[in-house]
Amino acid sequence: MFISKILSKRGQVSMEIGILIFAVIIVSTIASYYYITNYIDSNSDAPREAANKTINALNNASIKYSNSIQ
């Protein structure tokens, strides 16, 4: 019964299948857009730069305090 509703006798695909395929395309496009934008944002140089600034600040502080002890 259900198959006969999906396919007509002339071999045409019904509107429900077309809408389903269209929805799948839209959802996959939106998901890929968010995946790509999150991937680009996560691979930025900001975390590396923040870590280097912290390391440099701690090195400068340790050098300053070790020089004051001598």
The pTM (predicted TM-score) of the whole model is: 0.47
Enumerate residue ranges in the chain where pLDDT < 50.
none
Cα-trace Rg, the chain = 30
Q: Determine the Cα–Cα distance for residues 27 and 12; give it in Å rounded to an integer.
A: 25
Write down the pLDDT at residue 39: 82
Q: Residue 65 and residue 1: Cα distance in Å, rounded?
A: 84
pLDDT of the residue at 56? 92
